[in-house]
Structure 1
Amino acid sequence: MPDIDGTPLVWLSFDSEGRLDDNPKPLHALHEAMQRVQATDVLVLSHGWKNTQAQAARLYQAIWRNARPHIPSSRRFVLAGIAWPSVAFPTDFDDRAGRETAGGALAAPLAGGPSDLDPRTFERILRQSLPGKENARLRSLARAAASDPSAETKAALAAELARRMQALAAGDDAELSDEAELIARRASSNPELLFQISAKPFVPRDGEDGGAAGGEGAGQVVRGPLASIARLANQFTYYPMKRRAGKVGRMLGGYLDPQPFLANTRLHLAGHSFGGRLVTACASQMKSLRPQSLTLLQAAFSHNGLAASSPAGPGYFADVLAEQRVRGPIAITHTHNDRACTFYYALASRLAGDGTMAIGDANDRYGAMGANGAQHVDALRHGGFPASSGHRPVAGRVNNYLADKVVVAVPGGTDAHNNIGNAGIGALLGSVVSL
């Protein structure tokens, strides 16, 4: 059995339909690990857009090594590492535009900046974003619209995009169904809107820290029909992954809830990106067990998700608060440094045709938890992270943590959305699970 610096790590691996691989062996392994170390606590960790278990393992290792120094030595933990089949978000070519040269990801640049993607990169993004036989027609229509951006080809692509979204959302995910209905309605009435939206990337204007309506940014805009269609394809990856995260989370809750060996153990849930949606769905699903804590690290789901009421309606996971599913603190990190949560997630607000609000900010009904924290709930708002000076999480409350100084992009390396394996996040998680 693997461990992280002496703390046992048990893998709970799921397939795309939410089924636990080799059930019930991983649950038996979890129980055995708990008995071996006489565990007082179990921490469930879920990744977001990670392609492999090895990548998830490195993330969990970094998080735990930074958290462990902040946890009393009397507490004995077992880690349950979630592995679920997710899709990596394709290359953010707009962010790279200012650094690329001709012959790479971009076509030969013009005086005003890059003109378009090259065909090879365009095809790669299509296949990464729209994989499988079920998306074959969508890929074909995307190619047609890129080579001949007429009203007819755009309308056909918009209609197929809406159809695929509705198929993904059918039946078991009310939040996703609402978004699919909105996009289908807009795509039907005004298919050109999708292409107006995707003509520009979702990046802050120069000098802004994020959360603005978005602008072109000097040297960062890739223009042209290939780039426009590629942005739509990129955006599509959110919807199957969002649905899958919810399904795996509900199934995880169903597997854990009846286990007698967890009844007298402090169970903690922590997730990153769509993994935040996964662990929240898990908490919502549980009826017998009540997790001790819930930590959402740059979570990619609605910032209204915990609200009993909001401008977008009741949150999909409102029962987590209304029925007090979590015993202790709920901690949520948020920052507009996180482009994935602030801009890409909020496409639906542009599709709604509302140009009066900043894209992805706290007033955007389609904003993300990782951009703004939990909205329309009674939440404590922390301007800093736990340290000797304060900002400790409060049990029984939602704790929104502004992460502007902690979740930051690393020049030439990790983007802000994925930079959570650091000392600040470790201090926060350590404080949360210690209560």
Structure 2
Amino acid sequence: MAGPFEHIPMDGGGSADLYLLRYDDQGRLRSPEAAAEVRARVQDPGDVTDVFCFAHGWNNVFAQALDRYRGFATGFVTQGAAFGIPKPAPYRPLLVGAVWPSTSFVMPWEAGPQIAADPDPFGRQAAEVEELLELVTSSLEPARDQEFTEAVDGRRAVDAATAERIAEIAIEALRAGPDPDDGSPPPQPEDLLEAWAALDALARDGGAGAGGAPGSPPDGAPGTPGDGAAGDPGAAPIGFGTIGDHPHEAQPGAAGLDFDPRDLLRMATVWKMKARAGTVGAHGLGPLVEHVLTHSAARLHLIGHSFGARVVLSALTTAAAPRPAHCVLLLQPAVNRWCFAPHVAGTQRAGGFHGVLDKVTRPLMTTFSSHDAPLTRFFHLAMRGSHLGEPDFAGVGNTDLYGALGGFGPAGLTGLAVEEKAAVPGEGRYPLAGGARVIAVDGGVDINGLPAISGHGDISNPVTWWALHDLTRPD
């Protein structure tokens, strides 16, 4: 459908048009009329001076994406009016929200269920496993699909030999090459089995989940605030572990005991969604970014949450444009913390998004928070590569090599990055003119007795709006 999907009221009267552009899992545009209108409008300097482009994380039916974008834009506008934050002159913004397929089941740390809590074996729990299986096997050739499906279908436990075989198949299909963020080689089957066991052990240690009380809802799961509002800081992500399903079943991690194949499905979906986010960014949003930077003078502001950070980073990386974007704000990004480094530890290459630092005018700003349980407790286990020669005790839980940018902040950026506590809205400012190319905002600090960023989904709040204001204000 052509035309803006919604109008966001602006302070002082008027409104900003919000367009939603939908992409499929290959980055193919599914909203051609709306996209054509955006392209035409940004070329008219009398119409558009600033383009704000958003990419959501995991929770992506169309209505939820709209709600996330509407909430962030409205909060941003309201805060600007409350503090009298100056705007460029002239200022005629246009908002674009990318909608890409990362369904509610596929992010195990955010939407994975507590299986024991659902007495209906044919309810949401079973539907989740079906969706995970379909997502993973869609990348397999027919013979591998048959072997994999027959090994895991309907099973709550497989022996070690079967676990190793299905791990081989998953790696072959989904992790065959070097990691695009950090260049690490793909895990060997034994590496993957170690991570599989570690994830389950983490769930065991936390009872119902990683660090949460039994029955705690996952951060961002249906029924909780999700991407668009502050999450329950005590809520724990559920989904990798299955303690409580069948108390008499053996759990992975001890020699000779069985592995629950659902945990591997959940881990493999993380790999799949990571790759999909990159594809959507490069082939979907990338051409629009290139158009704005080539055929207009509008300032381009990119904002991405979780795997949406990978969408906007991939878009900017692949865009061949004569000028840089104005700013990039990453909110709890689910990308490797070495992704901007000129030299990644243990490899002979730069981080996958190092080149982005030369394609943005203002310092790239990224948040991280110790309260983000998915990115501080799970990400490095699911995304680890091969040992890279480090001691075995560091291989599985190595947050230095495999940690998330949104969990621990950037690595390998000596002299290029600065870490700042989250600024108090209306009071603090960030050192945009200090020479750093990356400003890492610590959202784990308290402001007025509450965490600045209380969880993975808490990315539309006064602290994040203030960060975007700092990046976009003319002074």
Pairwise TM-score range, normalised by the shorter structure: 0.7 to 0.9
Please say if 1:387 is aligned against 2:425.
Answer: yes
Q: Which amino acid aligns with 2:265?
A: A
Tell me the equivalent position of 1:83: 99
Instruction: Indicate which of 311, 321, 329 corresponds to 1:295.
Output: 329
Q: Which amino acid aligns with 1:81?
A: G
Instruction: Indicate which of 143, 146, 160 corresponds to 2:156.
Output: 146
Tell me the equivalent position of 2:20: 11
Q: Which amino acid aligns with 1:79?
A: L
- Which structure 2 residue ranges, 5 or more long, are not aligned? 10-14, 216-240, 244-248, 252-258
Give me the TM-score of the superposition, normalised by structure 1.
0.78
| Matched-pair contact (CA < 8 Å) for 1:205–1:215 | yes
Q: Which amino acid aligns with 1:17?
A: Q
Identity of aligned residues (%): 23
| Matched-pair contact (CA < 8 Å) for 1:202–1:343 | no
Tell me the equivalent position of 2:169: 160
Please say if 1:310 is aligned against 2:344.
Answer: yes
Q: CA deviation at 1:42?
A: 0.6
Q: CA deviation at 1:203?
A: 8.8
Please say if 1:338 is aligned against 2:339.
Answer: no
RMSD (CA atoms) = 3.7
Give me the TM-score of the superposition, normalised by structure 2.
0.72
Q: CA deviation at 1:200?
A: 1.7
Tell me the equivalent position of 1:402: 442
Tell me the equivalent position of 2:201: 200
After superposition, residues 2-401 of structure 1 pair within 5 angstroms as 2-5=6-9, 6-23=15-32, 25-32=34-41, 35=44, 38-68=47-77, 69-70=79-80, 71-73=85-87, 74=89, 75-88=91-104, 89=106, 104-105=117-118, 123-132=126-135, 134=138, 136-137=145-146, 138-143=148-153, 146-147=156-157, 149-166=158-175, 175=180, 181-183=185-187, 185=188, 187=189, 189=190, 192-201=193-202, 222-223=242-243, 224=249, 228-251=260-283, 252-259=285-292, 262-288=295-321, 289-313=323-347, 314-321=350-357, 324-347=358-381, 348-349=383-384, 352=387, 354-356=392-394, 359=397, 361=399, 364-377=400-413, 378-395=416-433, 397-401=437-441
Secondary structure at the aligned position of 2:202 is classed as coil
Count of residues in correspondence between the two structures? 397
Residues in 1 aligned to 2:446 and 2:7: alpha-carbon distance in whole angstroms: 27
Q: Which amino acid aligns with 2:267?
A: Q
Q: 1:146 to 1:174 in 2, by over 3 A?
A: same
Q: Which amino acid aligns with 2:160?
A: A
Tell me the equivalent position of 2:254: none
The higher relative CO (CA closer than 8 Å, separation ≥ 6) is in: 2
Q: 1:92 to 1:38 in 2, by over 3 A?
A: closer
Residues in 2 aligned to 1:230 and 1:162: alpha-carbon distance in whole angstroms: 16
- Which structure 1 residue ranges, 5 or more long, are not aligned? 108-117, 207-213
Q: Which amino acid aligns with 1:199?
A: D
